[in-house]
A = this chain, B = another copy of it.
Amino acid sequence: MTFRDPGAQEGLLSPIWAGRDTHTSDAAVLQAMIDAEVALARAQADLGMIPATAAGAIEGLRSSVGPADLAERAREGGNPVIPLVKAMTEAAGPAAGPYVHLGATSQDILDTALMLVAHRTLGPILDDLAVSARALGRLAAEHRATPMPGRTLTQHAVPTTFGLKAAGWRSLIIDARARLDRVRRSLPVQLGGAAGTLSAVEAYGGDLRLLGAYARQTGLAEPTLPWHVLRTPIADLGAALGFAAGALGKAAADVLVLSRTEIGEVGEPTGGGSSALPHKNNPVRATLIAAAARQVPALTAVLLGALAAEDERPGGAWHAEWQPLRESLRLVGGAAQAAAELMTGLRVHPDRMRANLGLTGGLIVSERLVAELTPLIGRAAARRLLDEASREGVPLAEAIAGRTPLEEGRLAEIMDPARYLGLAPALVDRALADEEDP
């Protein structure tokens, strides 16, 4: 059975996923619920529980109910499956009608539908994350030794390289992708009947083989137990989506800083405009990703909190999962796509990085000076010299001129930030070697 409506979406207040809602719109959720009912009938026909003709008839149904209609009728019983089953049963007529939803409970269908929605949404998300990871792999390799200021607590610390920064973003995104991929492979069908005992399945002649048959029909995994109140799949999804939002949010946070007017070390491929200012070139993708990263962890908390649910179906905890799960999928989906655009087109400005390295007048290499002076004058004296020199308000080279045993040429070399990259290039190589492109 198929259902398609014009696909009204509601993204005016969520630009990050607006227009990219293929698998999570109300219409898509409704289709997934129908897919779950059809798969159940087909699985039951495979095992001889119901006539093959009934399964065929159910599959061939054309329904006139739309999502808005079902949504409104969902309130009466608390979920949208009840009116859907009613509509499907009526549409199927007296011959096939009795075989619609046989042995199932509403939660079996809605949970399975949400697993399908998650499975379908995560496909493009994994792809988008792979695009980002590959783009960042290229950036990391290209800029493995491109010097830029390392910043801690907002202040220049010691130099780093842009390649190491890109390798770090890539590492997080690969971690996020691995977690989402692992969860996606484990998403199970749901089938337990009224209270998780498969009582009606047995009463209508079925047995535990139905779990596997149903899983095969949907492409989802077969669970060990009905998981009506064992919400591992939802909690794992929530955790992995929260992680992914944060991983993308890290890169976005850096792009926002590095795009600042005063810093200008990177730029978005194309900036966002403004309704008021002709010259604005806003880091809009990073902004929207950052906005997603602020929302998803709270939704994850709702999903984790729903684990602690009483009885064989709780009064509230289950219902509280649906919208946060959808919203998390949407936000991460939008953020993954925005990140793919951002990373493939990121503009990197080594000249600005080089210029910014000079801003502290040499203090950015003060650590190195301590290290170089330690064998010559002792660590304590070296640290004391630099502490004092740092506070004099003049360029460091000037402040320490004549106060160290280092000769001038060596001092100039030591004080070149571009020559104080530590093991950054080697770390980039190590990261690219250890974690392959997805």
Contacts and interface: CB of A to CB of B under 8 A. Distances in A.
7 nearest A-B residue pairs (beta carbon): A246-B307, A150-B195, A249-B308, A290-B316, A8-B8, A199-B422, A197-B422
Contact of A197 (B194, B396, B427): B427
A278 B77 CA distance: 13
Contacts of A67: 10, 12
Contact of A230 (B168, B273, B326): B168
Interface string A305-336: 11111111111111110111011000000000
A292 B315 CA distance: 11
Nearest to A172: B230
30 contacts: A9-B10, A12-B70, A13-B322, A18-B68, A98-B380, A105-B275, A109-B275, A151-B310, A153-B315, A154-B282, A154-B311, A172-B307, A193-B422, A194-B367, A200-B371, A208-B426, A208-B427, A226-B427, A235-B242, A246-B304, A249-B307, A254-B311, A262-B262, A276-B367, A287-B315, A288-B316, A291-B319, A293-B308, A297-B302, A298-B301
A372 interface: yes
Contacts of A151: 195, 260-261, 310-313
A307 B290 CA distance: 11
Contact of A203 (B167, B263, B298, B368): B368
Nearest to A306: B294
A307 B179 CA distance: 15
Contacts of A274: 77, 82, 105-106, 152, 157, 194
Interface residues of A, number: 180
A354 to B, nearest CB: 14
Interface stretch (A119-127, A131-139, A382-390, A405-413): A382-390
Given A98-B378, A246-B306, 6 more contacts: A109-B275, A199-B368, A224-B434, A246-B304, A253-B310, A262-B359
A48 interface: no
Nearest to A224: B434
B272 A203 contact: no
Interface string A231-246: 1100110010011011
A311 B152 contact: yes
Interface stretch (A23-31, A38-46, A56-64, A213-221): A23-31
B379 A273 contact: no
A145 to B, nearest CB: 11
B225 A168 contact: yes
Contacts of A288: 75, 78, 316, 319
Contacts of A245: 304, 307-308
A386 B200 CA distance: 15
A360 B235 CA distance: 34
Contacts of A160: 195-197, 312
B275 A308 contact: no
B12 A363 contact: no
A158 B203 CA distance: 12
Contact of A225 (B29, B280, B431): B431
A243 B235 contact: yes
A97 B30 CA distance: 43
Given A98-B379, A229-B250, A427-B197, A152 B307 contact: no
Interface in A418-438: 420-424, 426-427, 430-431, 434-435
A404 interface: no
A259 interface: yes
A326 B323 CA distance: 13
A80 interface: yes
Interface string A85-113: 10000000010011001001110010000
Contact of A294 (B226, B257, B279, B302): B302
Contacts of A101: 275
A16 interface: yes
A129 to B, nearest CB: 14
A380 to B, nearest CB: 7
A15 interface: yes
